[in-house]
Structure 1
Amino acid sequence: MRFLRTIAAAAACLLSAAAASAETLYFSAIPDEDATALTARFSKIADYLSGKLGVDVRFVPVKSYPAAVTAFTNDQVQLAWFGGLTSVQARLRNPGARSIAQGREDTDFVAYLIANTATGLQPSADFPMNAKGMSLTFGAKTSTSGRLMPEYHVRKATGGAPEAFFSTVGFSGDHSQTLRLVASGAYQLGFLNYAVYDKAAADKAPEIETARVIWKTPPFPDYNWVIRGDADKRFGEGFTQKVQDALVGMTDPDLLASFPREAFIPATNEEYAPIEQTAKELGLLE
């Protein structure tokens, strides 16, 4: 009888392991550029993670920054590449969720303030107070580098809200669109992720000819990978560590260029406390 119970227990364990391995890990990313580009970028990451983790991994595109947080909260995705603010929002809504990896560059991220060349504004180490009365677009409303930290520094430099300093304040939705809007003259200035601008410059994108960097923010922590707190229960003990190891162990230059990052390093929730504090000060957290 004891032998039969042992066999039954072993079979149950095997079935449990098989069920875990049959699970699909879904992940998403904040849509900080065009959806087509995002899908191309992250489909390769899905293949890489699937090979390292031994489970089916699929990328799920979303239409907006809030949609990325909602997908994570509703368990439509179990892993996500968030910006600093969206990572905080997602973790606050999902107790137990963890920031597990960040780009080496994400510990000291910056945002660029770009200006249409017709404004005559020149690059400066100080915030351009002579931009008063001009039009400005941020990126997405919950973008760390496209809105949160830029607004914080605008308030710090001008002593008031952006709407009190600029003639018009808009939200483009993503960094690539901010670059296009400023280059076309639809807005005179815009804040965006420095990496998006630098890549456009390296690719010799035509927008660079009429949109120049005139200022950059002080550094702040930004993008990071966040995993749900129930990942080990669903995929097996130690799965969260396996995901972190896979991300930190990513060395293929082509895969890293998808972000773009030189490498990934471990991350912790505590590193994003400054983002949480700034978001609370600006009323961007529920």
Structure 2
Amino acid sequence: MFKMMLRVIALMLLTGSVSAAPTFVFTAIPDQDETRLKQRFQKVADYLQQELQTDVRFVPVKSYAATITAFRNNQVQLAWFGGLSGVKARELVPGSRAVAQGVEDPDFKSYFIAHQSTGLDSAESLPVSIRGLTFTFGSKGSTSGRLMPEYHLREQFGQSPEKVFSRVGFSGNHSRTIALVESGAYQLGALNYKVWDAAVEAGKVDTSKVKVIWETPTYPDYQWTLRGDLDAAYGEGFTARVEQALLKMNDPELLSSFPRQGFIPASNADFEPVRKVAKQIGLLD
């Protein structure tokens, strides 16, 4: 009986019915609509599967918090985080590391946008006249759509956004922020500059109805973060292979879906400015 079981297992391995290693699973913060995310990251899954020679699966999540939870619970082993979500995740999972970031990510920025009815134009600082208007952030856990915009609002006005504006909302993602301000549902919003620039280039924004009125100083943002226990689960050297695969990703089609020019090394220390700001305004214990 024992020999028969061994033969069955060997046959299953040969036919692919059993994987020699567990499926490598990754996710990404839902900073855009789900359809676009799936298109972006299925291509990345295919690329990683080819590079790593193991089963790779992308799993979408519904919120920034869910991304962090999935990483903490080892439901995913790799995640494309924003600055704040990455800091939170790494504090919950000892040994986890930021390993790669886009060429643009050390110098990221947010745009503040306004509906044309406000009469606001581009300025070098946030105009005092935005006080009393309506305003939407992106996700509550977004670095570019919430953390850094709130930090600069507090610096400018010395008050929380709820005291600066007549109404404050959270759109859930950057694409939705554009739509809400363009429609006039909110007079102002803040978002990831990359999402805005890509949407304008694709002709998806009516710039006669909504425009950029201010951009923040730069800060570190998106990054790939890996759990620290990968070699134990997938074999010695697997962590280094994943890191190498991310850093050498150079297919223009893959890069344009982020969009990034390429990827460069990252470390946990690179995101210390984000951690300090998050603690300062109460978004991190």
TM-score range, shorter chain: over 0.9
Amino acid at match of 2:199: A
Question: Deviations for 1:117-168, whole angstroms, at most 9, x for unmatched residues?
Answer: 1110000111121111100000000100000000000000111111111111
Corresponding position of 1:190: 189
- 1:207 is displaced (CA, Å) by 3.7
Q: Are residue 149 (structure 1) and residue 143 (structure 2) matched?
A: no
Q: Are residue 170 (structure 1) and residue 151 (structure 2) matched?
A: no
Corresponding position of 1:7: none
Query: Which aligned runs of 4 or more in structure 1 are off by greater than 4 angstroms?
Result: none
Corresponding position of 1:137: 136
Name the TM-score, length of structure 1 as normaliser.
0.92
Corresponding position of 1:92: 91
Amino acid at match of 1:193: N
Structure 2 Cα separation of the partners of residues 231 and 208 of structure 1: 46
Structure 2 Cα separation of the partners of residues 97 and 21 of structure 1: 24
1:196-207 counterparts in 2 under 5 A?
Answer: 196-207=195-206
Corresponding position of 1:226: 225
Higher helix share: 1
SS in 1 for 2:153: helix
> Conserved in 2, the CA contact under 8 Å of 1:102 and 1:264?
yes
Corresponding position of 1:15: none
1:20-39 counterparts in 2 under 5 A?
Answer: 21-39=20-38
> Conserved in 2, the CA contact under 8 Å of 1:20 and 1:234?
no
- 1:34 is displaced (CA, Å) by 0.6
Corresponding position of 2:82: 83
Name the TM-score, length of structure 2 as normaliser.
0.92
- 1:20 is displaced (CA, Å) by 8.3
The 3 A distance-change label for structure 1 pair 213 and 48 is same
Amino acid at match of 1:95: P
SS in 2 for 1:90: helix
Structure 2 Cα separation of the partners of residues 37 and 192 of structure 1: 17
- 1:238 is displaced (CA, Å) by 1.6
> Conserved in 2, the CA contact under 8 Å of 1:20 and 1:236?
no
Amino acid at match of 1:143: S
1:117-128 counterparts in 2 under 5 A?
Answer: 117-128=116-127
Structure 2 Cα separation of the partners of residues 168 and 235 of structure 1: 49
Note the aligned Cα RMSD (angstroms).
Answer: 1.1
Structure 2 Cα separation of the partners of residues 21 and 172 of structure 1: 42
More off after superposition, 235-244 vs 30-39 = 235-244
Corresponding position of 1:44: 43
